[in-house]
């Protein structure tokens, strides 16, 4: 299972526990459920990250947005607690529950105090097993989603990514937007939400990352108690395997603005590919968000065509991409697109230098421990690593693997992965002079 939120995914995959202090344990409950745990008893506080496989790809075509709708409703009361009582009880216990829907997962983030562990987890159990779909809250959440959809149709970034995803996936569910459409959201009933809950939140397809003031034994018991009431088997009819349909070219969507927003993409590399780490390091040189990459240097620093530009790797269960985005004045869109394609071509054909590689190695191996800035972040990373089927020993050797990469490794992957002629650009704005660009 892989989350569709690409930036988060790529960051999480590359973060590993520093060998000098963070011990990751695999916990197996008496009932056979598994989790990864980092114990830290210095503060009486624990965080859990819980992921269920499936997500929005399980939705019926006429019920798009059900996963997103369900995530919203799971915060609107459960069991005997009305919506107001549910929120009040969270405040009394100082527990933080949040629910999210993605294309291929449903996730739950939990933070609780040790002294309130049992009561907090009972509240979570009720939310998972017995969410209330009271009619007034159902209509309230429905109205919120419809407002989000209305705003989405006016936002250049959303417009661009909706178009790019349709170019990438066609009619496959991964090409649909997570919030659904007006007509599908209006048709979703409480019965639809309950049916989807039973299908998407299953005991045999759950991943748990835990960090904080909890022991292995406590976590094992917690897993069995928390998920005892969920159904065992997952969906009987998994969605069709996704394929990348993206082809090189250009899509221009008229949008009244002095600037254009541009996204671009071609097929990438799955996160379970042996060369994924090499590709990740290559992309740091090409278009990192935080490192002074070639895209930043050439498009922003040297030419002043944008305030920000980045590329990133994204990976779903069956398909992956290397993508990027930036915005620029309508008069400079054609020039900026040309520069991006030229940088893509140069790295593919000429590779990186030893100096570039050593610089990015220093950055990556030095910066990653800073990402472990709390139990919530650690729990999230542990879940992400399990989703992508990493061995638990990966944590101990990540920096060694980065440092072992050679210029030849990077250049081999760049030559194979980077295909400038296959980049598809979606431009949302009123660009000038695109006819002069090479397509």
Question: How far apart, in whole angstroms, are the C-alpha atoms of residue 329 and residue 416?
Answer: 32
Q: What is the rounded average pLDDT of the residues 46-69? A: 96
Q: What is the rounded average pLDDT of the residues 110-114? A: 97
Higher per-residue confidence, 1 vs 418: 418
Asked whether the predicted pLDDT for residue 8 surpasses 60, the reply is no
Confidence class of residue 87 from pLDDT cuts 50, 70 and 90?
A: very high
The whole-number pLDDT of residue 367 equals: 64
Q: Which residues pair with 78 in a beta bridge?
A: 81, 131
The whole-number pLDDT of residue 235 equals: 55
Q: Which residues pair with 96 in a beta bridge?
A: 111
Confidence class of residue 401 from pLDDT cuts 50, 70 and 90?
A: very high
Asked whether the predicted pLDDT for residue 98 surpasses 70, the reply is yes
The whole-number pLDDT of residue 290 equals: 80
The whole-number pLDDT of residue 372 equals: 62
Q: Are 263 and 164 in contact (CB under 8 A)?
A: yes
Confidence class of residue 16 from pLDDT cuts 50, 70 and 90?
A: very low
Mean pLDDT score of the chain: 91
The whole-number pLDDT of residue 394 equals: 79
Residue among 430, 431, 372 at smallest CA distance from 398: 372
Of all helices (H) and strands (E), which one includes residue 38?
strand 34-39
Confidence class of residue 237 from pLDDT cuts 50, 70 and 90?
A: low
Higher per-residue confidence, 267 vs 11: 267
Domains of the chain: 31-227 (3.30.830.10), 249-381+389-436 (3.30.830.10)
**Tokens read off for 37:** 């745990």
Beta strands in 78-178 (DSSP E): 96-101, 105-113
**Tokens read off for 248:** 């090189």
Q: Which residue has tokens 């629910």? A: 99
CA dihedral 183, 185, 189, 195 (to 10 degrees): 110
Q: What is the rounded average pLDDT of the residues 40-61? A: 95
Residue among 292, 285, 272 at smallest CA distance from 405: 285
Question: How far apart, in whole angstroms, are the C-alpha atoms of residue 76 and residue 81?
Answer: 9
Can you tell me whether residue 208 is helix, strand or coil? strand
Q: Are 310 and 289 in contact (CB under 8 A)?
A: yes
Confidence class of residue 9 from pLDDT cuts 50, 70 and 90?
A: very low
Question: How far apart, in whole angstroms, are the C-alpha atoms of residue 438 and residue 330?
Answer: 17
pLDDT digits (tens, 9 = 90+) for 247-277: 999 999 999 999 999 999 999 999 999 999 9
**Threshold 0.75, pTM exceeds:** yes
Burial category of 38 from C-beta neighbours within 10 Å (exposed 0-12, middle 13-18, buried 19 and up): buried
Q: Say how many C-beta atoms besides its own lie within 10 A of residue 428's C-beta.
A: 27
Question: How far apart, in whole angstroms, are the C-alpha atoms of residue 261 and residue 431?
Answer: 10
The whole-number pLDDT of residue 2 equals: 38
The whole-number pLDDT of residue 11 equals: 33
The whole-number pLDDT of residue 234 equals: 58
The whole-number pLDDT of residue 393 equals: 83
Question: How far apart, in whole angstroms, are the C-alpha atoms of residue 220 and residue 376?
Answer: 19
Can you tell me whether residue 113 is helix, strand or coil? strand
Asked whether the predicted pLDDT for residue 236 surpasses 70, the reply is no
Asked whether the predicted pLDDT for residue 410 surpasses 80, the reply is yes
Q: What is the rounded average pLDDT of the residues 309-330? A: 96
CA dihedral sign of residues 166, 168, 172, 176: negative
Confidence class of residue 371 from pLDDT cuts 50, 70 and 90?
A: low
The whole-number pLDDT of residue 35 equals: 97
Asked whether the predicted pLDDT for residue 221 surpasses 50, the reply is yes
Q: What is the 3-state secondary structure (H, E, C) of 234-300?
A: CCCCCCCCCCCCCCCEEEEEECCCCEEEEEEEEECCCCCCCCHHHHHHHHHHHHCCCCCCHHHHHHH
259-267 and 424-429 strand pairing: antiparallel
């Amino acid at each position: 299972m892989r989350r569709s939120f690409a930036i988060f995914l790529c960051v999480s995959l590359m973060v590993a526990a520093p060998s000098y202090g963070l011990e990751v344990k695999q916990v197996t409950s008496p009932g056979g459920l598994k989790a990864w745990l980092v114990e830290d008893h210095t503060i009486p506080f624990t965080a859990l990250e819980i992921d269920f496989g499936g997500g929005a790809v399980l939705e019926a075509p006429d019920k798009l947005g059900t996963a997103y709708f369900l995530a919203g409703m799971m915060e609107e009361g459960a069991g005997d607690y009305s919506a107001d009582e549910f929120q009040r009880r969270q405040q009394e216990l100082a527990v933080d529950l949040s629910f999210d829907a993605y294309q291929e997962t449903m996730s739950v983030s939990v933070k609780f105090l040790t002294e309130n562990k049992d009561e907090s987890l009972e509240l979570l159990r009720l939310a998972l097993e017995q969410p209330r779909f009271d009619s007034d809250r159902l209509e309230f959440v429905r109205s919120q989603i419809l407002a989000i959809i209305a705003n989405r149709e006016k936002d250049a970034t959303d417009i661009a990514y909706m178009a790019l995803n349709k170019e990438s996936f066609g009619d496959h569910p991964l090409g649909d937007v997570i919030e659904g459409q007006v007509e599908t959201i209006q048709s979703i009933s409480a019965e639809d939400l309950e049916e989807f809950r039973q299908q998407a939140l299953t005991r045999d397809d759950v991943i748990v990352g835990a960090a904080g003031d909890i022991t292995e034994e406590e976590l094992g018991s917690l897993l069995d108690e928390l998920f005892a009431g969920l159904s065992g088997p997952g969906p009987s009819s998994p969605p069709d395997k996704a394929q990348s349909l993206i082809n090189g070219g250009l899509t221009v969507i008229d949008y009244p603005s002095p600037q254009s927003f541009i996204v671009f993409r071609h097929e990438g590399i799955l996160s379970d590919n042996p060369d994924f780490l090499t590709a990740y390091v290559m992309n740091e040189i090409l278009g990192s968000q935080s490192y002074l990459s070639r895209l930043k240097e050439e498009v922003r620093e040297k030419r002043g065509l944008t305030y920000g530009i980045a590329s990133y790797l994204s990976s779903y269960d069956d398909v992956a991409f290397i993508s990027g985005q930036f915005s620029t004045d309508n008069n400079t869109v054609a020039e900026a697109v040309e520069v991006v394609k030229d940088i893509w071509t140069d790295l593919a054909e000429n590779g990186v230098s030893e100096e570039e590689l050593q610089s990015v190695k220093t950055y990556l191996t030095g910066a990653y421990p800073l990402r472990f800035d709390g139990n919530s972040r650690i729990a999230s990373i542990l879940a992400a690593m399990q989703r992508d089927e990493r061995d638990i020993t990966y944590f101990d050797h990540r920096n060694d693997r980065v440092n072992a990469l050679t210029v030849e490794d990077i250049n081999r992957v760049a030559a194979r992965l980077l295909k400038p002629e296959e980049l598809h650009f979606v431009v949302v704005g009123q660009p000038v002079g695109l006819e002069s660009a090479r397509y």
